[in-house]
Amino acid sequence: MSQMQEELRQKAKELLEKGEVRYIIGWGKGRFHHRPPIFIYQAEDVDKLVWDEYCVANLGKYLLDDKFPEGKIGICVRGCDSRAVVRLVQDKQVKREDVCLIGLPCTGKVDQEGRELVKCRDCMHRNPPVYDIVLGEPVEEKGNPDRFKRVEELEKLSSDEKYEYWSNVFDKCIRCYACRNVCPACNCRECFVDQYRVGWQGKQKNCMQNQIFGLTRAYHIADRCIECGECERVCPVGLPLMELNRKLIKDLNSLFGPYEAGVNPDVKPPLGEYRLEDPEEYM
């Protein structure tokens, strides 16, 4: 790890000194084991960059804060960050030539107590699929054979049981919108929940409204979700939000062929296109 960190600092210094990038987005040292994102503008500041097992946040979303940069942005990417950037490029939120991806193969991250994160346990791409520079050696992909196990369990329930399960889940939701704020697939200029005049989202705090929010958000990112699991990680009440996203991904795969968001920049998301031989159930 520390060797990688050294390499990363070296590379960052080089890029900044040569002027290839204007600044670099990476992880910095916070209190205890927190690794907040930092933005390095000066070559002498590169020692603030940190790379260790506590670097959990997905950095892709921070590119949206600077949509029209005055120079290239260097960004540290693991597998999930890289997929996030690819999604943002596909959504035309970020120009590919505006970013320089510093790939960091990742062996999984841990939380404050040292336990492996759920999102890293379920990770499918530890090596960044898309990058400009890669540091260190590629790590072995472990895959995720249990990816849809929980979804299949839930599918077996009766419809009333399913409804009750999800009502109980969304009953706890406090609608802080942290899941939306952190999600790299959520990049609408104005989110539907903020369009007060249109009134998609009621202001009441009750289960129905929470459900409308949860369902709509999940469906909005149906073919964009990169399965980084950030929504679950940041949820203050610990809702199993990936169970909704995985269901959509599972169905997309079974209906329209295998697809993984953000892995290949040339593959379009399935809901944005069609094929004549799609399954027909509406005759």
Partner 1 sequence: MSLEEQKQVPENWEPTILAFCCNWCTYAGADLAGLNRMKYPENVRILRVPCSSRVNPQFILRAFQKGVDGVLVAGCHPGDCHYVSGNYFTRRRFLLMQRFLEYNGIDPRRFQARWISGAEAGKFRDTMLQLCEEIKELGPNRKLREVK
> 166-192 in b/e burial notation, b at 16+ Cβ within 10 A?
beebbeebebebbbbebbbbbbeeebb
- Does 274 bind partner 1 (CB under 8 A)? Our answer is yes
Residues that contact partner 1, how many (by CB under 8 A): 41
Report the C-alpha gap between 281 and 267 in whole angstroms. 26
**Paired sense of beta strands 73-77 and 99-103, if any:** parallel
Q: Cβ closer to partner 1: 113 or 280?
A: 280
Give the number of other Cβ atoms within 10 Å of residue 31's Cβ: 6
Phi and psi angles of residue 116, each rounded to the nearest 5 degrees, phi first: -65, 140
DSSP 78: -
Q: Shortest distance, CB of residue 111 to partner 1, whole angstroms?
A: 29
Residues 218-247 binding partner 1 (CB under 8 A) are: 218-219, 222, 244, 247
- Does 70 bind partner 1 (CB under 8 A)? Our answer is no
| Two tokens, residue 202 | 């009621």
- Contacting residue, 57, 183, 221, 248, with partner 1 by CB under 8 A: 248
Q: Which residues contact 230 (CB under 8 A, 6 or more apart)?
A: 57, 58, 80, 119, 179, 182, 183, 184
- Contacting residue, 62, 148, 192, 259, with partner 1 by CB under 8 A: 192
**Which of these segments, 2-10, 38-46, 109-117, 160-168, binds partner 1 (CB under 8 A)?**
160-168
- Does 271 bind partner 1 (CB under 8 A)? Our answer is yes
- Contacting residue, 161, 181, 188, 238, with partner 1 by CB under 8 A: 161
Q: How far is CA 171 from CA 80, 118, 191, 205, in A?
A: 30, 23, 22, 9
- Does 278 bind partner 1 (CB under 8 A)? Our answer is yes
- Does 156 bind partner 1 (CB under 8 A)? Our answer is no
Task: List residues binding partner 1 (CB under 8 A).
Answer: 151, 154-155, 159-166, 192, 200, 202, 208-209, 211-212, 215-216, 218-219, 222, 244, 247-248, 251-252, 255-256, 270-271, 274-276, 278-283
